[in-house]
Amino acid sequence: MTVRRTVILPPVPPPLQLYERMYKIRIFESRMEEEAKAGRLPGTFHSSVGQEAVAVGACGSLRPHDLVVSTHRGHGHFLAKGGDVFKLMAELYGRAEGYSGGKGGTQHVAGPECGFMGSNGITGGGIPVATGLGLALKRQGRENVVISFFGDGAANQGTFHESLNMAAIWKLPVIYVCENNGWGMSTAVKDVTAGVNIAHRGEAYGILYQRVDGNDLEEVLEQIRAGIQMVLNEQAPVLIEAVTWRVRGHSRSDQNLYRSKDVEAEWAQRDPLARYRTKLLKTGRATEQELTACEKRSDEELADAYARCQTLAPVAPETAVTKVYATPAEADAPDPSQEPLKDGAWEEKPYWQAIQEALREAMDKDPRIFLFGEDICEYGGCFKVTRGMLETYGKERLINTPVSEAGIVGLCTGAAMGGVRPVGEIMFMDFILLTLDQLLNHAAKFHYIYNGQVKIPMVIRTPMGGYRGYGATHSQCLDALLTHLPGLRVVTPSNARDAKGLLATCLTENNPVVFVEHKALYITKGPVPKESEKIPLGKAKIVRTGKDITIAANSYMVLLSLQAAEILAKDGIEAEVVDMRCLAPLDRKTVAESAARTQALVTVEESHFTGGWGAELTASVQELAFGYLDAPILRVAAADVPIPAAPELERAVLPSVDKIVATVRKALEARG
C-alpha cells in the first residue's frame, strides 16, 4: 500500500469559532427535540445535548476532505463537520430539500460534500464502514483521515473488535472515537462492560489509545489532534474514549427514570458549553459581547432555517421508489449470450477458470479493483478460484483477511464508498449469515437512504450448495434469502460462459452484488468465448426449447433440470428449461412467456421450499399468465429441514433429477 509522507495540520480554529459550533449544535438539538416531542417531526429523535465538546473537539482539526462516519446520535457530528443547518433540519422534517430527500430521517443522513459519510441506525454498524473508508484512502495514497464515532454500547459489538484488528494489521488512517455517555439506552456501562475501560481495549490490538474528559473541549481537541498526527505520520489507527454525559434520554420517548438525579446534577455542573464559555471569559480569550454575538448569529441561522422549513411542501410520494439502485438493470440491453457461439470462437474451460478470467481481465483494466477475503492469496481460496493470481498481482491487490466475515463485508462497503472497487470472498455461503447486517442494512441501503449521494460498487463472491456431505452449516443455498431486501443484486450462473460474462458485468456495476457460485459447478466445463463479453443482469435464458412444460431453475439446478428434460423426452414430453441466472433482478417476463406457450410450469431451486424464490416466481407467473395455464404450478426445492451430512439423508432432502421428473409428470397429469 502507498507510503505516506509527513503531513502538517492546519492551525487550531479560533476559540470563538469553536464556541459558536458548540452553541449551534446545542440550540439545534434543543429546538428539534421540542419539535419531535410535539409530534411535528416524523420518527424518533436522539439528542446529543451534553456531548457537543466531543463533536466539535473531534472535528475541530479536520480538513474538508477528511471523513466522518457517525451514529444514530449524529446531528452534532454533522454540524461540527460543516453540515448545512437548513438541509439537515429539512431532512428531519422529511422534506425533499433535506440531505437524504426525506428517505433517511434523523438517523440516516449523509453529506459527502463536507466529508460526512453517513449516520447509522445500527449500533456499531458504522465502525467497519469507516474502517473500509480508511482502507480506500490508503490504497489511493490520499492524505486523509477518517473519524469513526460510536457509543459505549457499540464497543461490545463484534464489529468493533473486527474493525480494530483489521485497522491495526494494515495501519489504516482511522481514529476511533467512543463517546462514552454512561448509558447504553437504559443500561449503565459499568454493568455490561468488562475490563479497565473501553480505551484500554486498544492495547489488545497494539494501537495507541487514550481516555479523555469528553466535556472538556480543549482536552478533546488536543488528543484528537495528536491522534491525527499519529495516524497521518506514523500510519497507525488510534482509539480515543471520550467520557461524557447524555443530558437527555436515549430518544424522545425516554423519560430518564432510571438515572440518579444526584448524578445528573453533578454532570450538569460539568456542562461542556457553559464550561467552555466560562473558561474563555476567565482567560480573556473572549468578551461577553463577542460570545453574545456568536450566539446571536447561530440563533438567527436556526430561526431562518426553521422559517424556511415551515414553507416546504411534503415530499412527493413517487420519490419513494427512486434511487434504490445506482444503475438500474437495463431491460433492453444487448445480451450476446443469447446467440450460439460460432465455430472457432470459443474454448472449453472449467467454471472456476472462467470466473478467474473475468477477475483478471477486469483487474487489468481497472486498478481500483482488488480481491479481499480469507485464504485467497497463496492458498488460492477454499475452492481455488484465485490460484496463481498472487504471482501476477501481488499482495497489494490480493489481501488475505482475518476470519471476520462481518468485517470483510463492512470494509468492502466502506472501501466502495471511498472510491475503490473491492471484490470480497466469503468462504462458504453459510458464513454470509454473519454478514447480513453489513450486507443488507448498509451495502444494500446506503444509496437509497442517502438519496443517491454515495455508491457501493462492490462484489461479494461466495460458494453455495450441498451434494458434498458437508452438513447443515456448510451446505446451504441462501440465495433466495438475499433477494428479500432491495438494493442488492444476486447472481447465480450455471455455466462457465455465463459465469464469466455475468461477473464481467458485475465488476463494472455501481451496485453491491452477491455473486453465488455453486460448489458442484467449479469443475464442470463449457464453451467460453475467446472474445470477452458482458452479459446484462436480470435476463433469463432459455437453454432448452420445448412445448409441453416449462422448467425454471438456477445455478446447479439447471444441470439437473436439463438431465430431467432428456429423460422426459424419451417419453415424448418436451420440457423447455429456463436458466434464471439472476435472482435479483428476477426475470419474471421470460418465464411467464414460456409458461404461457407451454401452459405449465415447474420451478426448481436448492434453497428451502418455504419462502424460496420459486414461490415468488410462481406468484408472478400467476399474475402475468394465469389465463394461459392449464396445470397447477409445482415446485421442487430442498425440504424444510437443515441439510444433513449422511449421503442417504442429503439425497432425501435435496432436489434430484428423479424428483424433477416426478414433479413434471405430476403437473402434466393434473392438466385439465
Q: What is the pLDDT of residues 544-599, one digit of tens each?
A: 999 999 999 999 999 999 999 999 999 999 999 999 999 999 999 999 999 999 99
Q: What is the pLDDT of residues 353-368, one digit of tens each?
A: 999 999 999 999 999 9
Q: What is the pLDDT of residues 68-84, one digit of tens each?
A: 999 999 999 999 999 99
474 is catalytic: yes
Query: Which listed residue (72, 474, 518, 608) is catalytic?
Result: 474
Total residue length of the chain: 672
To the nearest whole number, what is the mean pLDDT of the chain? 95
Task: Measure the CA–CA gap between 7 and 144, rounded to whole angstroms.
Answer: 10
Residue 389 is placed in which grid cell?
A: 493470481
Question: Does position 6 have pLDDT exceeding 90, yes or no?
Answer: no
Question: Does position 279 have pLDDT exceeding 90, yes or no?
Answer: yes
As a dihedral over the C-alpha atoms of residue 490, residue 496, residue 497, residue 498, rounded to 10 degrees, the angle is: -10
* Confidence (pLDDT) at 92: 96
* Confidence (pLDDT) at 235: 76
Question: Does position 1 have pLDDT exceeding 50, yes or no?
Answer: no
Q: Which of 86, 87, 77 is nearest to 56 (CA)?
A: 77
Angle at 177 between CA 172 and CA 178, to 5 degrees: 130
Q: pLDDT category, 332, cuts 50, 70, 90?
A: confident
Which ranges in the chain are annotated with CATH 3.40.50.920? Answer: 541-669
Q: Are 282 and 92 in contact (CB under 8 A)?
A: no
Q: What is the pLDDT of residues 426-481, one digit of tens each?
A: 999 999 999 999 999 999 999 999 999 999 999 999 999 999 999 999 999 999 99
Q: What are phi and psi of 527, to 5 degrees?
A: -70, 135
* Confidence (pLDDT) at 191: 86
* Confidence (pLDDT) at 2: 46
Q: What is the pLDDT of residues 196-207, one digit of tens each?
A: 899 999 999 999
* Confidence (pLDDT) at 183: 84
Give the residue with greater pLDDT, 247 vs 255. 247
Residue matched to cell numbers 446531528: 75
* Confidence (pLDDT) at 255: 79
Q: Are 670 and 631 in contact (CB under 8 A)?
A: yes
Task: Measure the CA–CA gap between 7 and 270, rounded to whole angstroms.
Answer: 35
Which ranges in the chain are annotated with CATH 3.40.50.970? Answer: 37-278, 348-529
Domain 37-278: state its class.
Answer: alpha beta
Query: Which listed residue (405, 509, 593, 606) is catalytic?
Result: 405
Range 611-617 contact pairs with CB under 8 angstroms and sequence separation of 24 or more: 611/480, 612/480, 612/637, 613/479, 613/480, 613/483, 613/554, 613/580, 613/583, 613/586, 614/552, 616/483, 616/586, 617/552, 617/580, 617/586, 617/588, 617/591
Q: Which of 384, 354, 358 is nearest to 506 (CA)?
A: 358
User: How much helix, strand and coil, in percent to the nearest 5, is found in the chain?
Assistant: 45, 15, 40
**Cis amide linkage into residue 585, ω under 30° from 0:** yes
Q: pLDDT category, 5, cuts 50, 70, 90?
A: low
Q: What are phi and psi of 167, to 5 degrees?
A: -65, -35
We find that the CATH architecture of domain 348-529 is: 3-Layer(aba) Sandwich (3.40)
Residue matched to cell numbers 489488545: 204
301 is catalytic: no
User: What is the CATH number assigned to the segment(s) 541-669?
Assistant: 3.40.50.920
**SS3 labels along 546-612:** CCCEEEEECCHHHHHHHHHHHHHHCCCCCEEEEECCEEECCCHHHHHHHHHHHCCEEEEEEEECCCC
Question: What is the Cβ-side half-sphere exposure of residue 209, based on CA atoms within 13 angstroms?
Answer: 20
* Confidence (pLDDT) at 8: 76
Question: Does position 297 have pLDDT exceeding 60, yes or no?
Answer: yes
Question: Does position 298 have pLDDT exceeding 50, yes or no?
Answer: yes
Task: Measure the CA–CA gap between 226 and 221, rounded to whole angstroms.
Answer: 9
Question: Does position 4 have pLDDT exceeding 60, yes or no?
Answer: no
Q: Which of 176, 112, 169 is nearest to 150 (CA)?
A: 176
Residue 604 is placed in which grid cell?
A: 426448481
Task: Measure the CA–CA gap between 78 and 90, rounded to whole angstroms.
Answer: 14
Q: What average pLDDT does range 642-667 have in this prediction?
A: 97
Q: What is the pLDDT of residues 510-549, one digit of tens each?
A: 999 999 999 999 999 999 999 999 999 999 999 999 999 9
* Confidence (pLDDT) at 672: 61
- pLDDT more than 70, % of the chain: 99
Q: Are 232 and 145 in contact (CB under 8 A)?
A: yes
Task: Work out the number of other CB atoms within 10 angstroms of the CB of residue 333.
Answer: 13
